[in-house]
Amino acid sequence: MSARMPQAALFAAAVAALPLAAVAVPRAGDVAPPISLKILGSGKTQTLAAFKGKPVYLNFFASWCGPCNEEAPSIVKLYKKYHPQGLVALGVNELDPEAKAKSFVDQYKLPFTVLLDDSGSTGKDYGTLALPVHVFIARDGKISTYRLGEMSNQEIEDAIKEIVKK
């Protein structure tokens, strides 16, 4: 391997070496695994349980993830469009230093709470074999849509519509 191999390619190679049985990937209909993570820039902790009864969109990302950077502007627009209908969005930064996470948030002016998964343990619970990961949780706390990898603007909006209407 070249010493100049991009981080994403190294990550993908490492993931490919993992036994699939070692990774639990949530499915539609499963109750969303609990989350308790530090909020970027505040030192406070945020739990998923605090949003019981609300539609929640979890977006797992990292600053070095190309598709994460491509999707960010669309996610911001869709959040602003559906937040008045009760949508909660939580960004979950995977394994980035806090400064890199903050830079990403500032660059895209993310208007929603961003959590830091410094250890990767929450990402493991959500099957983050690669990034981005999109998890759409209905008001009943069950996963409506789970997607590992990039989604189009329309796919994200369709998944949001599904959880907001329920």
At 140, phi and psi to the nearest 5?
-85, 5
CA 65 – CA 16 distance, rounded (Å): 17
The number of residues making up the chain comes to 166
* Beta strands in the chain, from DSSP E residues, in sequence order: 36-39, 45-47, 56-61, 88-94, 113-117, 133-137, 143-148
65 is catalytic: no
Active-site annotation holder among 40, 68, 78, 115: 68
Annotated active-site positions, please?
A: 68
